Amino acid sequence: MFIQVIQGQVSDRGESKEALDRWARELAPGSYGWLGTTAGVTEDGTFVAVARFESREAARRNSDRPEQTQWWMETAKLFAGEVAFHDSDQVHQYLRGGSDSARFVQVIQGRIRDAGRMRDLIRRTEQELGAFRPDLIGGLAAVHDDGGYTETVYFSSEEEAREGEGRELPPGLREAFEELVGLFEGEPRYLDLRDPWLYSRAT
């Protein structure tokens, strides 16, 4: 799997949603290897979209489509300031991965000291974590080409996620979580999508 993260500041949440709706309606049917997109705007106006593709080559072919170029030229006008792009084909999917049934999505970003150890910790604990946190549907952990990190976590609802956060972890999970947090260089950034926009390829 390959993902591209797009983010920046927007002033109009509705226009941003309309732009992605139009992409899903008009451009998605002719896309190459597109699997789905998770997007939304945080309370401080940060837009973030995580687009999933079968491969880097498929994503590149999409970027080269004239209709994609035209759509982006129009959509880019909705942003105030620079737009950041992060690419990754180092993607680890856990539990059910990305899910259109999520009602709350949290995007966690930062820089990881040891990507291999991060993947090992997630892989080793995912089944126990899934049993302990039924509100957790799944997620995607990705290391960017520039060494950054984006994890997209899907929950059944924010209320249930916050309740789950408040539960005391079993010793094994607590140790793994503390080690995972310690792999970040500095504090990770949390982007809460309370009204996630979820799109996926028709099957």
Domain tally, the chain: 2
Within this chain, do residues 107 and 156 fall inside the same structural domain, yes or no? yes
Q: Of the residues 88, 115, 149, which one is the last residue of a structural domain?
A: 88
Q: Which residues face 4 on adjacent strands?
A: 51, 87
Stated as kind and residue range, the H or E segment containing 143 is: strand 136-143
| Domain membership flag for residue 164 | yes
Q: Which domain holds residue 188?
A: 90-193
Sheet holding 2-10, edge to edge: 79-88, 2-10, 46-53, 34-41, 197-200
Within this chain, do residues 69 and 118 fall inside the same structural domain, yes or no? no
- The enclosing domain of 95 has a CATH number of 3.30.70.100
Q: Tell whether the model's pLDDT for residue 203 goes beyond 80.
A: no
Within this chain, do residues 140 and 176 fall inside the same structural domain, yes or no? yes
Stated as kind and residue range, the H or E segment containing 73 is: helix 66-75
Distance set, CA 89 to CA 2, 4, 57, 149 (Å): 4, 9, 10, 12
Within this chain, do residues 97 and 189 fall inside the same structural domain, yes or no? yes
Which of the pair, 107 or 119, is modelled with greater confidence? Answer: 107
Summary mean pLDDT of the chain: 94
Q: Of the residues 44, 61, 88, which one is the last residue of a structural domain?
A: 88
Nearest Cα to 24, choosing from 34, 15, 14, 33? 34
Pull the structure tokens for residue 190.
Answer: 């949390």
Within this chain, do residues 103 and 172 fall inside the same structural domain, yes or no? yes
Tens digit of each residue's pLDDT (9 = 90 or more) over 135-192? 999 999 999 888 899 999 999 999 999 999 999 999 999 999 999 989 999 889 999 9
Q: Of the residues 36, 60, 88, which one is the last residue of a structural domain?
A: 88
**pTM here?**
0.93
Within this chain, do residues 45 and 107 fall inside the same structural domain, yes or no? no
Q: Measured between alpha carbons, how far is 125 from 103 in angstroms, rounded to an integer?
A: 23
The SS3 of residue 194 is coil
What does the pLDDT read at residue 202? 72
Q: Measured between alpha carbons, how far is 149 from 91 in angstroms, rounded to an integer?
A: 10
| Domain membership flag for residue 14 | yes
One-letter amino acid of 53:
F
Within this chain, do residues 74 and 30 fall inside the same structural domain, yes or no? yes
